[in-house]
Amino acid sequence: MGNNETQIDVRTALKQGLAQLRDAHVPSFTLAAELLLLHVLRRDRTWIYAHPEEEISAPDAERYFALITRRAAGVPTQHLTGKQEFWGLEFEVTPDVLIPRPETEHVIEVALDRLAVHELRAGRPQKNDGSGLRIADIGTGSGCIAIAFAKELPQAAVIATDVSSAALAIARRNAARHGVADRIHFLEGNLLDGLLSSAVASAEGSIVGAQHAAPLPAQTVASGPSSHQSPVTSHQSPLLDLIASNPPYIGRREASSLMREVRDHEPEIALYGGEEGYEIYAGLIAQSAAHLKSGGILVLELGHNSLPAVHPLLDAPNWKNVGVTNDLAGIPRVLSAERS
Ligand SMILES: C[S@@+](CC[C@H](N)C(=O)[O-])C[C@H]1O[C@@H](n2cnc3c(N)ncnc32)[C@H](O)[C@@H]1O
């Protein structure tokens, strides 16, 4: 039965959809066809495989094959369904935000492991609900990292920054969807700059979540790469326990080798860190050094070839206990350290 006819069953729709995607050289074409059919039918995978003979209505079939055509033309599946799972949670995604990637879950794992070690060293029970902790996610995009922390550490106060106001709007919606909007403070600005002005604006109190976390001692901080050497400004900012970031790290010189789904559909500001890709880390690490308390944790996601350029930036005397974590493909994916 062709897709122009009015009656089609689940099995046939899937078969025809995946054949179109396969012919268009779409990666993971079977999964993509399944996800698009699940989306149109508003069913789960179990239902689809339990009801292969079930007939699909003509409008649903039409919608499904329209999505298949767009997917075959390179539109990411997540832009067609409007969602992506990360850390077991469903996130709204649009072309304004990076689609959360599975390897970014290593950032959460490394951060939670390091926080647990902190608790052990301090002689506290290993279960950490985040009481008193201040956490920042720099370049939050969909909000996936900040929201995962807010869910894992229900008493922590979380700050999420991004230069993109469009991304922050999506992140706010995702925070509301997961019931943590009141615990995440979203700031628009370059790296941690927003945090600085927010601190200046509320110099008497804490930056976020005063009802959840006691104000922490303040320190003198500076913004910009030079702060790595000598913090000189007089702004007061409450110190952070953890800073995590998955910054843009692809080199513009690599653009032509990217998959079309990425290059043509995901936001440039989320992809490219500069000509080489690793340019953003120097400023990020310098600002993090100024905003973390002693013993505070920095966790950074790396591009596939960023390690040699970024590792030397986490040097003494500012940093100690530097660690590298590989992703499942064996690529050094997460660089982490403690503020000395
Ligand atoms: C690779 S995406 C990561 C998004 C999300 N954290 C994730 O892991 O899926 C990088 C994000 O950083 C933001 N960004 C780019 N340059 C920035 C800057 N200088 N300061 C703050 N955010 C920035 C982009 O808008 C984008 O949302």
DSSP string, 258-281: S-HHHHTTS-HHHHEEESSS-THH
Mean pLDDT of the chain: 88
Q: Look at ligand 1, atom 2, and give the residue with the nearest C-alpha.
A: 270
The answer to whether the CB of 2 falls within 8 A of the CB of 40 is no
Distance between Cα 158 and ligand 1 center (Å): 16
Say which residue, 218 or 85, is predicted with more confidence: 85
Residues in contact with 184: Cβ distance below 8 Å, sequence separation at least 6, in sequence order: 143, 146, 147, 150, 158, 159, 160, 171, 175, 208
135-151 pLDDT tens trace = 999 999 999 999 999 99
Indicate if the pLDDT at residue 298 is higher than 70.
Answer: yes
pLDDT of residue 232: 29
The stretch 12-28 carries a mean pLDDT of 98
Nearest alpha-carbon partner for 228 in 277, 192, 186: 192
Distance between Cα 187 and ligand 1 center (Å): 12
pTM listed for this prediction = 0.90
DSSP string, 154-186: TT-EEEEEES-HHHHHHHHHHHHHTT-GGGEEE
Ligand 1 pocket residue status of 190, Cβ below 6 Å: yes
Ligand 1 pocket residue status of 167, Cβ below 6 Å: yes
Indicate which atom in ligand 1 lies nearest the CA of residue 301.
8
Q: Look at ligand 1, atom 19, and give the residue with the nearest C-alpha.
A: 190
Burial (CB < 10 A; 0-12, 13-18, 19+), residue 23, is: exposed
